[in-house]
Amino acid sequence: MEYELGRILLDGRTISARVAEMAAEVSEAYSGKEFVAVGVLKGAIFFLSDLVRFFPRNSLVRLDFMAVSSYGASTKSSGIVKIVKDLDTDIRGRDVLLVEDILDTGLTLSYLLDLLKGRSPRSLKTCVLLDKPDRRKVDVRVDFRGFQIPDEFVVGYGLDYSGYWRNLPDIHVVNPIEAPARNIQPKE
Ligand code: 5GP
């Protein structure tokens, strides 16, 4: 199946305004505390970098990243999560905020939460920009949520289809392109 870029679901200004609100909520929750914001690559790259720049100057945030395998060229979750890059930080006894681009089935976030919990952080919270609740397969606790969106495949602002369209400033839906029908003759 091929896809083309569809309508804008969330434009850059709307995203930025909500990210600023989320930054206020997050920095309030960690006020005066050092914490590690862990971005899940590559999708969360723009979200995390925008979020932390809205934090107050005295914020004690550190940044780290994990990379997990994605859907590849498909738009459906395989449920298989492979760690491609692990944290550089030892999170034992630290306050950790896991930052994800999108929560779909919940399999990725739930896997990562179990993995990180096993490393004995002092606290572990989650922050997701987009949430597609209709597709949830496992229960995952979300502490900070940007937008609830319908069950549509989206790209832009870090989210890709087959590696493309991450760079777009707005979040778009993608539309399947129907293959041209063959051997169909017009009716007489
Ligand atoms: P989950 O494990 O919750 O099903 O999916 C989480 C991951 O699937 C996200 O980090 C993202 O990589 C990918 N994903 C889920 N829905 C979408 C979507 O609508 N667009 C894009 N580009 N990726 C998605």
Task: Per residue of the chain (188 residues), give pLDDT as tens.
Answer: 788 999 999 999 999 999 999 999 999 999 999 999 999 999 999 999 999 999 999 999 999 999 987 555 455 555 568 899 999 999 999 999 999 999 999 999 999 999 999 999 999 999 999 999 998 999 999 999 999 999 999 999 999 999 999 999 999 999 988 766 555 555 54
pLDDT of amino acid 81 = 80
Q: Which tokens is 101 given?
A: 């681009």
pLDDT of amino acid 188 = 47
139 is a catalytic site residue: no
Q: Which ligand 1 atom is at minimum distance from the Cα of 105? A: 4
Residue among 77, 83, 157 to mutate when testing ligand 1 (max atoms within 8 A of CB): 77
Q: Which residue minimizes the CA distance to atom 19 of ligand 1?
A: 153
Residue 183 lies in a domain: no
pLDDT of amino acid 185 = 55
Give the domain range for residue 25. Answer: 2-177
pLDDT of amino acid 82 = 85
* Whether residue 107 has its Cβ less than 6 Å from ligand 1: yes
Total structural domains within the chain: 1
User: Residue 168 C-alpha to ligand 1 middle, in angstroms?
Assistant: 16
Residue 117 lies in a domain: yes
Residue 163 lies in a domain: yes
pLDDT of amino acid 135 = 87
Q: Which tokens is 136 given?
A: 């949830």
Residue 185 lies in a domain: no
pLDDT of amino acid 2 = 86
- 100 and 40 in contact (C-beta within 8 Å)? yes
Omega prior to 187 cis, within 30 of 0: no
Catalytic one of 104, 131, 139, 143: 104
Q: What is the CATH number of the domain that holds 17?
A: 3.40.50.2020
CA distance 68 to 101: 12
